Structure 1
Amino acid sequence: MPIKSTYAIWNNKGGVGKSSITFHISTAYAEKNPSSKVLVSDATADILFQKFRENQDRFTSPSKIIQTIQDFRDYYSVPLRDFNTSGVVAAHLGKPLSKLTQGEHQVYNRSVRVVKARIQDCQDAINDVLQKI
């Protein structure tokens, strides 16, 4: 099957929500286009882990030894400040925003409160992007 289109979410700064936004755009697109096959690649963590291994002094010193990409993700992915809390919580739980509910959710062993209005704000932002695709 030929690739019909390719999109990239890009920003030269880390921690701005590229992975979360990519997750939400791709799941929303798949929900609205059930006959389409959607392939998503998140190379960000892989590339950052490679850079970490090459130049650890450019990163905040970890309090534990980081040997694997999962160790890297677990240690450096804790802050929840990008793409509103709702988008980050939904991505962490592996849920599309349309399935996220208001209330307390466990993210990295922390209780995070999600408000219905913010879920809607995120869904509206994703729908604005989908209208342009």
Structure 2
Amino acid sequence: MTSSTTSWPRISGPLGSAAGFAAGIVAAVLASIAGAVEHHSIGLFALALAIAGVSAITTVAGALATAAQCWLLYASFIVGRSGSLVFDESSADTAGIFAIIALAATGLSRGRVTQVLSRH
């Protein structure tokens, strides 16, 4: 019995950034429809899910770009409501949370998959 370790395939940083931007737009629109403009936590949760999902399949650079883009969507369209960037203490905290989510999802998905091959 032998075992080999392979890593999950990853999309490049630029493609991850593009995927993150698309996922962020979809998440922001759906969150807005669900009431995120009045209840910011809905938008926070939706964008955090988008960040985690994309970060799991891209590089660290793609994950951090996704976090930055989603933060801009959150601070501009969920909190700012009309596209005007709101940068206050809460917004800064959200930027940090999004970065942590991106790095954690990228790191967790970097775990190795062990395949055990048996020969008869």
* The structure with more radius of gyration: 2
TM-score, normalised with respect to structure 2 = 0.33
TM-score, normalised with respect to structure 1 = 0.31
